Structure 1
Amino acid sequence: MGTVQHGDRDIQGWQGIALAVAACAAVTLLCLPLANLLAPANIVMLFLLTVLLVAVRLGLSAALVAAFLSVALFDFFFVPPRFSFEVSDGQYLVTFAVMLVVAVVTSTLAANLRRNALASALEARRARALYEMARELSGALTMAQVAEITRVFLRNVMNAEGDVLLHDTQAGFRSCAENAPPSLRIEPALALIAFERGEPVRCNPLAGSGSAALYLPLKAPMRMRGVIAVAPLENSAAELTDMQAQQERLGTMASLVAIAIERVHYVEVAQRSQVDIVSERLRSSILSALSHDLRTPLTALVGLADSLVEYRPPLAMPARETAMAIRDQSEYLAGLVTNLLDMARLHAGKVTLRKEWQPIDEVIGSSIKLLGRALAGHAVRVRRGGDLPLVEFDAVLIERVLCNLLENAAKYSPPDQDIGIEVALQDDCLAVSVVDRGPGFPGEAGDSIFEMFVRGEHESTRAGVGLGLAICRAIVEAHGGSIRAMNRPEGGGCVSFSLPLGTPPALDEEPTGLEEAS
């Protein structure tokens, strides 16, 4: 992105006036040897041409000086009597007046034309630079690149220093550039006003303070992203005026930067999501492979240990106790492997629900029966809230949910404490809650307790890998329901899941005995 000059700053002020004087002197020296050969009218034309060239090249101030100086030099060197300001013929006074008026008018018109041409050229160069900036922003991959492109545009095009500030609700404003400009001072209060109102904020900083003079909000299509702080490099009144005049173009620049920042943000989000998806898929594949490889030898180990326990004639008591310990640990390990395999299948979406309209009571009863040894020492009390309708669900999977919840409750409940199952209607759902009198869930756990391999702080001394609740959530959500964990006011934990009721099919009424006889 090339540098855009703000006019001809190298020829201005006293330097331009000095060049105008030198030009008039050069024309005088050129015409002196030709004074006897050229008519006064032709010499006047040469001076007018000089005034015109000075106006085109050096501006209005230098042209006016050249106009008055040309009249004086023509009078002194070329009007009789020469080398004096006396005029022998009164007609030359008319010549002087016409020459001065023509010189002033032409110099004014030429200077205005020059100024307009320079302004048009500057606008064209700035528009071209803005286009190039938009093209570079479309290829930016990081926030730092966006900030650097913005700084280069401001420095080369607007003769200003700037910094892109992103807003964080906790940390406030932070520069997204790798190396923030050390000379630029930011007023957080003004930046916050521009951010909250969504409008530019202008101020007039002290000369040499390096403070930003303009704060531009970064309005992206989705939300406000931050602000751009801009300060003129020379910090002069002319620079401040030019910056205010270019506020519309600066606003366009801010819009381009905001869109680029939002695009980079969502690219980063998409990349993180893609990495998470690939990682989850890899983890599920590993779990599935390991579960299949471990399941066969574990099944054989459980069967062999159980055959030793039931061996006839019975083994000696020490050997029988060892066989029972081997069987229990093998069953526990087989349960873990089953959980891993189920979790891998659920995440891979390979589980097909076999839904049927059925009462929830049968599943509750079968779950309690399956956990005979795990529930030893704990009485399970079931409370039903009136007549319950039929619900459409997969009995095998919901039974798995209840088994996991009851097993967790038995694991963390003190010995000889009851475990409760409460079933009730809630709005358009059937809610099933499993309550215990254990230590409950850690206060900050929240929904994270249902993530894979996440366990509460009270679970470190108990066996488990943190898959039971994750499997429960996956099964319940596959049924269109929800699950949550909470602590009871009277102590203990409660895990409650809900299943949508839906509209059960109409049942045909059985005929009465009188109708059968007829």
Structure 2
Amino acid sequence: MENNSALLASQAERITPLRAQVLTVLACIGTTALATPLLGYLDLANIVMLFLLTVLLVAVKLGRNAAIVASVLSVLLFDIFFVPPRFSLAVSNIQYLVTFAVMLVTALITAHLAAGLRQRAEESQRREQQTQALYQLARQLAGTLTIEQVGEIVQAFLAQQLAAQSAILLPDERAPALQAIALPDTLLIESHLAQVALTSGQLVRSDEIASLGYAPLYLPLRASMRIRGVLAVRFAETSPEPSAETTSLLEALASLIAVAVERLHYVDVAQASEVRMLTERLRSSILSALSHDLRTPLTALVGLADSLFLVKPVLPPTALETAQALHEQAERLAGLVGNLLDMARLNAGQVTLRREWQPLEEVVGASIKLLGSALAGHPLKVDLARDLPLLEFDAVLIERVLCNLLENAAKYAPSGSTIDLQAQVRGEAVEIGILDRGPGFPAQQRDELFEMFVRGASESGKPGTGLGLAICKAIVEAHGGRIAAENRPDGGACVSFTLPRGIPPIVEEELP
């Protein structure tokens, strides 16, 4: 590719317009000198053929303008040196005027056709070279690892092929302006035009700003999914106006860049996803290992704390208070370890749901009874719709969800405030909601509350590890439902989840 470009450049420097005209004159004079000694041996018609051959060769080698000069000059030289009276423009026979006219027309047509063929051959050769250059560019872009490498390769390509400067502009999610990749120091970017090209997906051009050092041409990088950025191009001041062929080349280049940028984007996405998967797998393995190792000594610790109340003689009141505190903290720690183990199992997909068709009321009652003293300071208002159907779910796991949500509501709601538990049919699902009068959820963290170890800023003073809502989400999604958290308009928080209705079995009435 570099050798072909160098060859074309050397030819362009070697055959300038002035040099072409000089060569044309020399060719016609040479033909005259060659044909003069043959005047006595050849007819004038054959000598005309020699001049026409000269015009054809000039057209092929030097182009259309040189061929026109050769046509006119050949007619004049033929008239002066070969048509009697010789060495003058006078014509003794009127028939020679017809010869001159036919010779001139034939020479011009020959020059036009030959020059046209030469031009099309050059265009074909140039397109072939550009196609080869684009092919080589595509191979280079396919091996890039960073967007900076893409910018450097594109800059070298445009500098070599079109003597132009370029920069790749990519949107930045953290800033409204486009981010320039491999921006040359002498190239300025008109951000408004670049933004128009990005949003409209069309080529934007403004030649007025080129003289100020700005890139006048902005091409959108259209990929298969969306527009990935903008290619800014500025030609050298001595370069001619970009032709349609040049614009087509730039559009093809923009397509290759868009494919490369999109490929790098999805490579980053795949790598990030793989890192997250490995991180979650490692974290789940660590949690599972720790939970198994801690469960046995914690259970023993709770048993030993209980045994202190059975010691004879009875321990002093201070020692009993210490034993009671030890028992409560050991139970709390055992609960945290249980949550860790449950979360590890849910993430690993090792929990098998024991689905059974059953009424929701039984699980709600069992959850309230299980919490016991945790709800002592909060009146609980239960509102279950009368038309609730039988649902297919794992009673133990859904009971765990209700206990976690009710315990959270009691933990963060003001003492004495009412907690509402509601259930109603919503289309093809049953929605269960827990509502309280607490401080609510931080708006900026509402979507992150169901991730592991994530807790709102307002919860920092309360004990916990941030696993309760994550466990609830895993259980609900395993049942095919959804869970969401929002703030109530009149104050407080609401956590609701859904369970699919399904098609319950037909229950036959017992005969009396």
3-state SS of the aligned residue for 1:314? coil
Partner Cα distance (1:490, 1:37) in 2: 114
Matches within 5 A, 1:489-508: 489-508=489-508
Q: Is the 8 A contact 2:166 2:183 kept in 1?
A: no
Q: Does the alignment pair 1:191 with 2:214?
A: no
Shift in CA distance, 276/73, structure 1 to aligned 2, threshold 3 Å: same
Shift of 1:44: 8.1
Shift in CA distance, 388/46, structure 1 to aligned 2, threshold 3 Å: closer
Shift in CA distance, 479/322, structure 1 to aligned 2, threshold 3 Å: same
Shift of 1:464: 1.0
Matches within 5 A, 1:399-414: 399-414=399-414
- State, as a whole percentage, how many aligned pairs show the same letter: 54
User: For residue 346 of structure 2, what is the aligned residue in structure 1?
Assistant: 346
Q: Is the 8 A contact 1:60 1:111 kept in 2?
A: yes
Q: Is the 8 A contact 1:451 1:470 kept in 2?
A: yes
Matches within 5 A, 1:70-469: 85-86=87-88, 94=96, 97=100, 101=104, 106-167=110-171, 171-172=175-176, 174-175=178-179, 177=181, 179-205=182-208, 208-234=211-237, 236=239, 238-240=240-242, 242=243, 244-386=244-386, 388-469=388-469
Shift of 1:93: 11
3-state SS of the aligned residue for 1:293? helix
Shift of 1:416: 4.0
User: For residue 479 of structure 1, what is the aligned residue in structure 2?
Assistant: 479
Q: Is the 8 A contact 2:430 2:498 kept in 1?
A: yes
Q: Is the 8 A contact 1:452 1:466 kept in 2?
A: yes
Q: Is the 8 A contact 1:205 1:212 kept in 2?
A: no
3-state SS of the aligned residue for 1:450? coil
Question: Bigger CA drift: 343-352 or 38-47?
Answer: 38-47
With the length of structure 2 as denominator, give the TM-score of the two structures: 0.84
Q: Which amino acid aligns with 1:461?
A: G
Q: Is the 8 A contact 1:51 1:63 kept in 2?
A: yes
3-state SS of the aligned residue for 2:409? helix
Question: Bigger CA drift: 273-282 or 369-378?
Answer: 369-378
Q: Which amino acid aligns with 2:221?
A: L
Partner Cα distance (1:507, 1:71) in 2: 112
Partner Cα distance (2:490, 2:59) in 1: 94
3-state SS of the aligned residue for 2:228? strand
Aligned length: 503
3-state SS of the aligned residue for 1:372? helix
User: For residue 515 of structure 1, what is the aligned residue in structure 2?
Assistant: none
Question: Bigger CA drift: 287-296 or 219-228?
Answer: 219-228
Question: Bigger CA drift: 99-108 or 36-45?
Answer: 36-45
Q: Deviations over 1:85-104 (max 9, x none)?
A: 45899589959948973765
Q: Is the 8 A contact 1:481 1:500 kept in 2?
A: yes
Q: Which amino acid aligns with 1:17?
A: Q
Q: Is the 8 A contact 1:48 1:99 kept in 2?
A: no
Q: Deviations over 1:319-377 (max 9, x none)?
A: 11111111111111111111111001000000001111222232223223322343344
Question: Bigger CA drift: 319-328 or 185-194?
Answer: 185-194
Shift of 1:38: 8.4
Gaps of 5+ in 1: 513-518
Partner Cα distance (1:104, 1:504) in 2: 93
3-state SS of the aligned residue for 1:425? strand
Partner Cα distance (2:228, 2:283) in 1: 35
Q: Is the 8 A contact 1:80 1:87 kept in 2?
A: no
Q: Is the 8 A contact 2:220 2:229 kept in 1?
A: yes
Q: Deviations over 1:151-203 (max 9, x none)?
A: 444333344433333345774552553x2134444444443444444333344
Q: Which amino acid aligns with 2:478?
A: A
Q: Is the 8 A contact 1:203 1:213 kept in 2?
A: yes
Partner Cα distance (1:36, 1:370) in 2: 126
Shift in CA distance, 54/173, structure 1 to aligned 2, threshold 3 Å: farther
Q: Is the 8 A contact 1:68 1:100 kept in 2?
A: no
Q: Which amino acid aligns with 1:339?
A: N
Q: Deviations over 1:365-424 (max 9, x none)?
A: 322332234334444343333354322211111111122122222222333444333333
Q: Does the alignment pair 1:61 with 2:57?
A: no
Q: Is the 8 A contact 2:209 2:215 kept in 1?
A: no
Shift in CA distance, 73/204, structure 1 to aligned 2, threshold 3 Å: same
Partner Cα distance (1:43, 1:341) in 2: 106
With the length of structure 1 as denominator, give the TM-score of the two structures: 0.83
Shift in CA distance, 397/267, structure 1 to aligned 2, threshold 3 Å: same
Q: Is the 8 A contact 2:165 2:233 kept in 1?
A: yes
Q: Is the 8 A contact 2:85 2:91 kept in 1?
A: no
Shift in CA distance, 377/283, structure 1 to aligned 2, threshold 3 Å: same
Q: Which amino acid aligns with 1:56?
A: V
Q: Which amino acid aligns with 1:191?
A: A
Q: Deviations over 1:11-35 (max 9, x none)?
A: 222232234445567778x86xx97
Shift in CA distance, 94/169, structure 1 to aligned 2, threshold 3 Å: farther
Partner Cα distance (2:508, 2:237) in 1: 91
3-state SS of the aligned residue for 2:208? coil
Q: Deviations over 1:270-314 (max 9, x none)?
A: 221111111111111111111111111111111111111343432
Partner Cα distance (2:389, 2:79) in 1: 118
Partner Cα distance (1:36, 1:419) in 2: 122
Shift in CA distance, 112/410, structure 1 to aligned 2, threshold 3 Å: closer
Alignment partner of 1:14 out of 15, 18, 21: 18
